[in-house]
């Protein structure tokens, strides 16, 4: 994420927009830093991060906003859906994977605590913990994401490797033009075992 620190006046405007009466002290300009990052799939909407340095440890809040209205990223996906429904979302084959990464990073799933899209196998978490045989199996089986478009149902389809709660799976995912994401199928590539991972065929 390419964060840019905002100037004082713009930071004050953001802080005044997001602060609540119950937490005024957390959003004081002399105790806070405000950054923003542009997202390739949104038009006129950026991701804002407000970091409070008055507490130990420090903590941050993230918002989607157009500079005037801000939607708190609470992990539910509601803020993303709200922004999408306002027409800010502009998906195409060049930014759909970045959207999926952003979505899984910011939306908590009831079934899984952690989901990540693997576009580069060398960036996969816990890769260094794998034994040589499993490492070779993972390298051989990893595929780059494949993107399609279902014209009849007006939605994108993606076949991609996902890191899901210390396991590597290949998943079929649909994303409609409103940005709603659904995993329709998944197939295990590696299983969690003894703090590491093993390829499915090594279990039998």
What's the pLDDT band for 25 if we cut at 50, 70, 90?
Answer: low
Residue ranges per domain, the chain? Answer: 4-85, 112-203
* pTM for the model: 0.86
Answer for the pair 39, 102: CB distance below 8 angstroms, yes or no. Answer: yes
Average pLDDT over residues 57-85: 93
Average pLDDT over residues 125-145: 76
Does 22 score more than 80 pLDDT? no
Prior bond of 57 cis (ω within 30°):
yes
The better pLDDT of the pair 37, 142 is held by 37
Q: Residue 164: name the closest of 123, 112, 203, 125 by CA.
A: 112
Average pLDDT over residues 71-87: 94
102 to each of 69, 96, 181, how far by Cα in Å? 20, 10, 11
Q: Within 10 Å of residue 156's Cβ, how many Cβ atoms?
A: 23
Does 132 score more than 90 pLDDT? no
| Residues contacting residue 169 through CB under 8 Å, at least 6 positions apart | 161, 162, 186, 187, 188, 189
């Amino acid at each position: 994420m390419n964060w840019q620190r905002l100037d004082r006046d713009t930071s004050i405007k953001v802080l005044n927009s997001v602060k609540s009466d119950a937490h005024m002290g957390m959003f004081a300009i002399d105790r806070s830093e405000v950054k923003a990052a542009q997202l390739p799939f949104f038009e006129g909407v950026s991701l804002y991060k407000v970091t409070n340095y008055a507490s130990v440890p420090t903590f941050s809040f993230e918002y989607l906003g157009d500079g005037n209205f801000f939607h708190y990223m609470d992990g539910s996906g509601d803020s993303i859906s709200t922004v999408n429904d306002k027409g800010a979302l502009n998906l195409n084959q060049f930014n759909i994977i970045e959207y999926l990464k952003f979505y899984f990073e910011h939306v908590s799933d009831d079934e899984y605590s952690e989901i990540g899209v693997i576009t580069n196998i060398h960036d996969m978490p816990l890769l260094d913990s794998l034994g040589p045989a499993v490492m070779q199996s993972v390298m051989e089986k990893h595929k780059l994401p494949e993107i399609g478009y279902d014209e009849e149902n007006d939605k994108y389809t993606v076949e991609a490797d996902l890191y899901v709660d210390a396991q590597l799976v290949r998943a079929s995912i649909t994303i409609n033009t409103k940005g709603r994401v659904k995993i329709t199928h998944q197939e295990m590539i590696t299983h969690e075992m003894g703090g590491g991972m093993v390829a499915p065929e090594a279990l039998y």
